[in-house]
Amino acid sequence: MLLARAFDERCLTLQRQGRIGFYVPAMGQEAAQIGCGWALDPADWLFPAYRELGLALTRGVTLDELLCQFFGNAQDRLKGRQMPNHYGYRDRNFVVGSSPIGTQIIQAVGAAMAARRRGDAIVTIPFFGDGATSSNDFHAGLNFAGVFRVPTIFFCQNNEWAISLPRSRQTAAKTLAEKGGAYGVPGEVVDGNDVHQVFRAVRTARARAIAGDGPTLIEAQVYRLGPHSTSDDPRRYRSDAELAEWKQKDPIGRLKHELLDAGAWTEEQDAALLEEVRGEVAQALARTETVGPADPTSFLDDVYATRTPALDEQRHYLEEMLKAGMVRQ
């Protein structure tokens, strides 16, 4: 959780300095993501939105891999073809993040249906915010999941704001979790700032799904402490008093004091760990900033399994233009 927070802080600074183009912080949602991630099996398929940094860390995604994607450099697995902060790792069953709201929900349901037909004992889990519960894909996804009893855990991070629209203006429902009932999908509300509560809820939902008892909708109640993205100014739509109130519930501070009260942690250990993770972030940044830019001709790759004569001709033409300085990398 501390590593995620330190990475968030540095990436926000990088964007403000013009060193990366875009960033979506996860500050305040670390317990929900990391508690959920540890409760899953590595074989389970994850369908994130665009704020699931903590989840990626539980899958062993390195800071170098993340930063290379943000820079779109020569070591970016996605070859600069996705906007920054939209990463994916097939070897970790981590699907590329979705910007369109809710699309990952129906993709996860379809993948779960396929997994069950193959006899794979896994679950799929889409991650989305409160705003996505107003999308068509949310309703279609839950309806299919309920009818076909697929092994999907719908994980909603209710962070109170759909960019600038408060949760109170999104729905008149008492909770978002209760929306599952209309589709025969059990819903559960958890305190998303309590890493233990999230872990237990996801563990239970996974056991239900593997046993053939169908999907679950989990609403993790959290709060977005930072902006929606680096293109957003939350001061325009929420008060300082509201932010101050939620900062008192910061999941990292909460877990720290829980450990201190239990005698399992000290202030000295905490300070040392924070310094350590900030050092990890600095070292990863130093390494990735030495990586050169992506090959400008790489956009001609992966169009077909085998390049066609037309693509070879286009590549040759582009290479000649690059040599002549007619285009910039």
As annotated, the active-site residues are 224, 228, 237
Residue type, 21: G
Nearest to 250 by CA among 193, 208, 211: 193
CA dist., res. 320 & res. 315, Å (int): 9
148: buried, middle or exposed (CB in 10 Å: 19+, 13-18, 0-12)? middle
CA dist., res. 189 & res. 194, Å (int): 12
Secondary structure letter of residue 59 according to DSSP: T
What does the DSSP assignment read for 7-56?
HHHHHHHHHHTTSSS-----TT-HHHHHHHHHHS-TTSEEE--S--HHHH
Report H helices in the chain: 2-16, 30-39, 53-58, 63-71, 103-118, 136-148, 195-210, 240-247, 251-261, 267-288, 309-323
CA dist., res. 315 & res. 161, Å (int): 46
Nearest to 30 by CA among 275, 273, 252, 271: 252
Strands 187-191 and 124-129 turn out to be unpaired
Nearest to 285 by CA among 274, 277, 273: 277
* Spacing of C-alpha 85 from chain mean position: 9
Six-digit token string for 31:
């317990």
